[in-house]
Amino acid sequence: MMERDGPLAGVRVLAVEQFGAGPFGTALLAELGAEVIKIEDPRLGGDIARYVPPGQADRDSLFFETFNQGKRSIALDLTETGDRALFERLVTTADAVFSNLRGDLPDRLGLTYATLGRVNAAIVCVSLTGYGRTGPRAAWPAYDALVQAEAGWAALTGQPDGPPTKSGLSLADYAAGAMSMVGLLAALLAARTSGRGSDVDVSLLDTALSMLTYPATWRLSAGIETDRLPMSAHPSIVPFQFFATKDGHVAIACAKDRFFRALVEALELNELAADPRFADFAGRLANRDVLLEILAGRLATRTTAEWLTALGGRVPIAPVRSLAEATDRDALEGRGLLRDYQHPALGRVSAIGSAIRVAGHVPASRRAPRFDEDGPALRESLAARDAAPPA
């Protein structure tokens, strides 16, 4: 077993996980030094993410690598008596059991504290499901696009005259994965103090609904509806949106009065700063259309690079970049985000690591495990533990 360091070194998590949401969450733990052991069902050939194209070979894929770097793998059929017994022996060595399955399966497969607490009283059992472990939809499968649609995210995204639009990324999955890790770590801290574990339940839909934040507060408290606006504009802060330039687009966010004053000064539109219609947030919101027409006309006269030079550091501004531009290798390396390694089936793999920085810890670049790669070593370690004389 490879030695691990980091703030979570010594923490062992058994992960009955698949696809993106759960593996995204446990990957955060692995980067921070936790030992994450994937429990992969041999009847299914392991995590279905192993077979997602492009960049797929045998039982490995670039999709799978993205979410499973630095983990371990053992093949266990939790419905088979021998494998179940082996799993429960692993539970006695673990701090947490994490699953992201359909809502009815944690109870059916015995992955909750009611079952595993009898094996290890301090075990934390985290269930990340689509719609929760109880209720009429517990057994329904759920995916990111469905949740973005149902939680109202898609209705808030896109052009006003266009269709509802989901994010280009699986943000409901990733948010729920990260949320479940917060729950896991909180329950683990409590278990370390009390010696007793617990269940932690997180659902994709609840996570997405909780992230509606201030539009939901406006709606529930004052009946204020939030509508889609052109150019990804903020519903109440003006200007706070994308603008077309001579050769592309920029994002500008004047979330303080002083930024608005700096913007109009740099645009040589000083008269706007003195105009009572634009003196504060409320005025700029009430006169949004006339203000944005003036600003858009001026911003369209120069290139993105020219505006970045003129406004950078004075006004919150960023270029709207392509994926190719955003994934510049040198820039990622400079920020310590690039994970680079050789894979026996996929060749050179380059991926982006976690954004979490803990002083003194430098995450290693480790490939994802091959299917059941760690099975023999884990079985051997359990056999040796069983054969050891009592302490």
Q: What is the pLDDT of residues 88-101, one digit of tens each?
A: 999 999 999 999 99
DSSP-derived pairing of the beta strands 198-203 and 72-75: unpaired
User: What pLDDT is stored for residue 29 in this prediction?
Assistant: 98
Euclidean distance between CA atoms 64 and 24, whole angstroms: 10
Say which DSSP state 204 is in: H
Per-residue pLDDT at 1 exceeds 70: no
Q: Which residues contact 69 (CB under 8 A, 6 or more apart)?
A: 27, 30, 31, 339, 351, 353, 365, 366, 367, 368
- DSSP letter (8 states) at residue 291: H
Judged against a pLDDT cut of 80, whether residue 168 lies above it is answered with yes
Q: Considering only CA atoms, which of 271, 238, 265 is closest in space to residue 252?
A: 238
* Cα–Cα distance measured from residue 366 to residue 69, given in angstroms and rounded to the nearest whole number: 6
The label of the residue with tokens 């574990």 reads: 197
Residue 389 is predicted with a pLDDT of 81
- Can you tell me the mean pLDDT for 60-66? 98
Amino acid identity, position 180: S
Report in angstroms the alpha-carbon separations of 337 from 24, 170, 275, 322, 354: 15, 20, 45, 18, 7
- Nearest residue to 294 (alpha-carbon basis) of 275, 310, 281: 275
Q: Give which of 313, 335, 314, 316 is closest to 326, Cα–Cα.
A: 335
| 344 contacts: CB under 8 Å, gap ≥ 6 | 370
- The answer, yes or no, to whether the previous bond of 390 is cis (omega within 30 of 0) is no
Task: Tokens for 188, please give them.
Answer: 């683990």
Report pLDDT for 195. Answer: 97
**pLDDT given for residue 2 in this prediction:** 57
pLDDT in tens, 127-145: 999 999 999 999 999 999 9
The amino acid at residue 126 is V
Catalytic-residue membership of 249: no
What is the three-class DSSP state of 201? strand
CATH architecture of 12-211+356-387: 3-Layer(aba) Sandwich (3.40)
Mean pLDDT, rounded, for 199-217? 98
Mean per-residue pLDDT of the chain? 96
Does residue 4 surpass a pLDDT of 90? no
Helix (H) or strand (E) holding 293: helix 288-299
Query: For residue 190, what pLDDT is reported?
Result: 98
Contact 58, 45 (CB under 8 A): no
pLDDT-based confidence at residue 391 (cuts at 50, 70, 90): low
Fold (CATH) for 230-320: formyl-coa transferase, domain 3 (3.30.1540)
Task: Indicate if the pLDDT at residue 339 is higher than 70.
Answer: yes
Which of the four pLDDT bands, split at 50, 70 and 90, describes residue 3?
low
pLDDT classification of 123: cutoffs 50, 70, 90: very high
The ranges assigned to domains in the chain are 12-211+356-387, 230-320
Query: How far is the C-alpha of 8 from the C-alpha of 23, rounded, in Å?
Result: 17
What is the Cα–Cα distance from 16 to 98, expressed in whole angstroms? 6
Task: Respond yes or no on whether the N-terminal peptide bond of residue 54 is cis (omega within 30° of 0).
Answer: yes
Q: Give the pLDDT confidence of 311-338 residue by residue, as tens digits.
A: 999 999 999 999 999 999 999 999 999 9
- Do 257 and 280 meet the contact criterion of CB atoms below 8 Å apart? yes
pLDDT for residue 296 is more than 80: yes
Q: Give kind and range of the element (H or E) at residue 382.
A: helix 375-387
What does the pLDDT read at residue 387?
87
CA-CA-CA-CA torsion for 316, 317, 321, 327, nearest 10 degrees? Answer: -40
pTM for the model stands at 0.94
Q: Which residue has the tokens 């920085």?
A: 357
Between 301 and 4, name the one with better pLDDT. Answer: 301
Q: What is the pLDDT, as a whole number, of residue 115?
A: 98
